[in-house]
Amino acid sequence: MSTPVFWRDPALPHVELRKVEDGRSVCYAPHTHTEWSMGAITRGESTFVHGDRQCRVDAGCLVFINPNWVHVCNPIEGRSWAYLMLYVDTQWLVDLRCRLGLTQTPKWQDLTPDAMRSPELFDGFIALTDALLDRSLSVGEKNERLLAFLSTLLPRLAASEAPRGASERLCALADYMDTHCAAEVSLDVLSRQADISPGHLIRSFKRHFGMTPHAYVINRRIQRGQRALRQGQSIADAALDSGFSDQPHFQRMFKRLLAATPKQYRLGSVDEQKHTAAGKQGGESAVDGA
C-alpha cells in the first residue's frame, strides 16, 4: 500500500485533499466527517456505503458524502484501487451556496445524489486536485479554481427533500457528547440524561446516528485529534487533548477510522507549510470571495 498524501494550506483552511495511489490494504471502519466531502475513484473499484445505501463504485465514479453521515469505502477482495478525497468546510460551503443563489437559508442542507458518473465533472475534479497539489500555483489561483469547480458542480446537486431527523432528546444528547467527547462519558450517565434504559439508548441512538454512543464519542475524539494535528500539535498532545489516555490507543483508533497514522496525517500539514510562503504571492485577496 502506498503512503497516503494529505494536502493542506493554512491560508485555505476550508479545504483539504487526500490522495491514495494504491488502496488495496486500505480499510476504514464506519465513521463520519464534520466536513462535506467528495471523492473520485481513479483506478479499480471499491464498495461504498453511505447512510443506508451500499453500492460498488469504480474508476470514473464520483462520490459525495454529507457531513455527519456514517460511511465507509473499502477495497473489494484486495483488488487494486486508487482515489482522491476532497474535504470542504461545511459552513464555508453553506455560504457559497447562498452566494450562488442555490439556497435562501444559511443552514446546511444534505445534498443528493451520493454517487454519479459524469466525465465532465470527473475531469474537472481531477484538474482541480492537480492544481491544489501544484506548488507553483499561488493560494489565490488555487482558491479560484476551487470556486470555479464548485460553482459548476453545486447546481447539479439537489438539496435533500427529506433530511434525517432525530428526537429532540437524542439531539440534545449528541450535542452533549460533542462538547464533552474528551472526557469520560459513561453510558449510565447518558441514559439518565435521556431518561431511557441503556439498551434502549444504544438502539435508538444507532438507529438515528448510524453508530452506538461509544462509537460516536470515539469518532468525535478522532475529529478533535485531526484538528489538533492540523494546528501543529504533537501527536502526544493531540492524543491527550482528544481524551485518549495514551498515545498508542489514539494511534490505533486514528488508523482504524481514517486508514492513516497520525504521523502520516500530520506530515501533510508540515510539508505544505514549507511551501506556503511561495504560494501566497499575490493570492490573499481571492481567498474569501466567490
> For the segment 152-191, what is each residue's pLDDT rounded down to a tens digit?
999 999 988 655 666 888 999 999 999 999 998 899 999 9
Cell of 268: 501533510
Residues 64 and 172 in one domain: no
pLDDT for res 105 = 87
Average pLDDT over the chain reads 89
The answer to whether position 152 is within a domain reads yes
Specify whether 121 is located in the same domain as 191.
no
The CATH number that applies at residue 238 is 1.10.10.60
182, 140: one domain: no
Looking at 136, 162, 188, the residue that finishes a domain is 162
- Reported as a single tens digit per residue, the pLDDT across 228-239 is 999 999 999 999
Q: Give the domain extent around 186.
A: 168-269
The reply to whether 12 and 108 lie within a common domain is yes
Closest CA to 226 of 132, 133, 89, 120: 89
Q: Are residues 177 and 93 in the same domain?
A: no
Q: What are the pLDDT digits (tens) for 71-118?
A: 999 888 877 899 999 999 999 999 999 999 999 889 999 999 999 999
User: Does residue 282 have a pLDDT over 80?
Assistant: no
pLDDT for 166 equals: 67
User: Is the same domain home to 234 and 147?
Assistant: no
Average pLDDT over residues 123-151: 98
Instruction: Tell me the pLDDT tens digit for each residue of 204-221.
Output: 999 999 999 999 999 999
| CATH code for position 117 | 2.60.120.280
